[in-house]
Amino acid sequence: MSLRGAAYIAGAWEHPTRKAPDKSIALLHAECARGALADAGLTKDDVDGYFCAGDAPGGLGPLSMVDYMNLKCRHVDSTDVGGSSYQVAVGHAMEAIAAGRCSVALITLSGRPRSEGQATGTAPRPGNPAAPEMQFEFPYGPATANLYGMCAQRHMYEYGTTSEQLAWIKVAASHHAQYNEHAMLRNVVTVEDVVSSPIVSTPLHRLDCCVISDGGGALILTRPEIAKSLKRPLVKVIGVGESPKHQAGGEIDLTFTAARWSGPPAWEMAGIKPSDIKYASIYDSFTITVLMQLEDLGFCEKGQGGKFVSDGNLISGVGKLPFNTDGGGLCSNHPANRGGITKIIEAVRQLRGEAHPKVQVPNCDLAIAHGTGGALGTRHCGSTVILERE
């Protein structure tokens, strides 16, 4: 039985903060939960399923946060696949709701790498020494920026992609961010601005990289009959997919992402094709991330991403595929170094007609929110959510 439409996103809330040195991570999670519940018109006592990932503080998955928020849950899930965890959580919550394991699912993300002074993209962070790859990778300095830089370099080699084409992705994000009062970077930039900004790790420039921010977000998923009893516009989950991609024993191909595998099951469940999509939230840790995912999700042929994103094609009101109309990770925020949930939240705003009027897509009835977690250069997860306004 297809899960299509088994759950609706009834509540969505993004924390307005971008720097929160005076708040604990647990408090940020709870504030996001409160915001999403208020948005849905539900209360804390309605929640019977809780979904979080590795950003939730505490050692044992969801336990510290369900304790802190005093939630009475009959279903929990703490699948952690980095920034893609929240698209995965939407799929898992839909499955749990369809199976009768819970009726009102809460998903939260929060973190404050900015207040903690984290050099997210440029300083290699050792992970668990027990990770089997650690001794064969960490000594070589795999910081986030160079792991994506390696993908961009190979994509340029195989397909002739240029820095100017990548820059158009940042240009589009900045056109949108100018209208987001909470965005960290609100100045509209040009292709020239991007390619003349300092190199971080070749071929990626500073303006090819996302921001480092505090903040968070939360979502409420629920059964169709509960969603229809609430006062909010109906946003139905019609397609989900998830898939990891890794080094495959050394058979490496850095020119594509896991979206190649997470997209097809989502499109099939939704029963639609990329050209039906009115608005796209695409994970934007770096410009190259967006370009490769757009190819892999089928918005253009492999290798044609550079042409596809050029000349404002991603700018709302200008191009054919409005993307990340909140400014995305490139300009607005990247809370906890994980941009998955904000992608879903902006897609919900678009479907409800609640995006900023300057970037609202007219008659926006079908949207996609795709996440990538981990690092494209080594191992990551892709997760796809397709939503429909009913």
Partner 1 sequence: MAYVARKIPFVGTPETNPETKPFFEGAAAGKLMVRRCTSCKKVHHYPRELCPFCFSDCAWEQASGKAKIYTISIMERANPPYAIGYVTLAEGPSVLTNFVDCDFKALKIGQDVTVKFIQTEGEGPSLPFFTPA
Chain residues in the site for partner 1 (CB under 8 A): 122, 124, 126, 129, 132-143, 145-147, 149-154, 157, 198-204, 247-252, 254, 378
Sequence-distant (6+) residues with CB within 8 A of 67 are none
Nearest approach, Cβ of residue 142 and partner 1 (Å)? 7
Nearest approach, Cβ of residue 377 and partner 1 (Å)? 8
Nearer Cβ to partner 1 (132/362): 132
Pairing, β 75-77 against β 49-51: parallel
Quote the CA–CA distance of 311 and 147 in Å, as a whole number. 27
Nearer Cβ to partner 1 (13/159): 159
Nearest approach, Cβ of residue 117 and partner 1 (Å)? 16
Quote the CA–CA distance of 40 and 103 in Å, as a whole number. 14
Q: Please, is 140 exposed, middle or buried when counting C-beta atoms within 10 Å of its C-beta (0-12, 13-18, 19+)?
A: exposed
Nearer Cβ to partner 1 (123/318): 123
Nearest approach, Cβ of residue 122 and partner 1 (Å)? 5
Q: Please, is 173 exposed, middle or buried when counting C-beta atoms within 10 Å of its C-beta (0-12, 13-18, 19+)?
A: buried
* C-alpha distances in Å from residue 4, one per residue of 61, 242, 378, 385, 388: 28, 15, 32, 11, 10
Nearest approach, Cβ of residue 211 and partner 1 (Å)? 16
Closest C-alpha to 217, from 10, 66, 386, 31: 31
- Kindly provide the b/e burial profile for residues 29-53, where b requires at least 16 CB atoms within 10 angstroms of the residue's own CB: bbbbbebbbebbebeeebbbbbbbb
Nearest approach, Cβ of residue 129 and partner 1 (Å)? 5
Nearer Cβ to partner 1 (117/362): 117
Nearer Cβ to partner 1 (20/145): 145
Nearer Cβ to partner 1 (174/201): 201
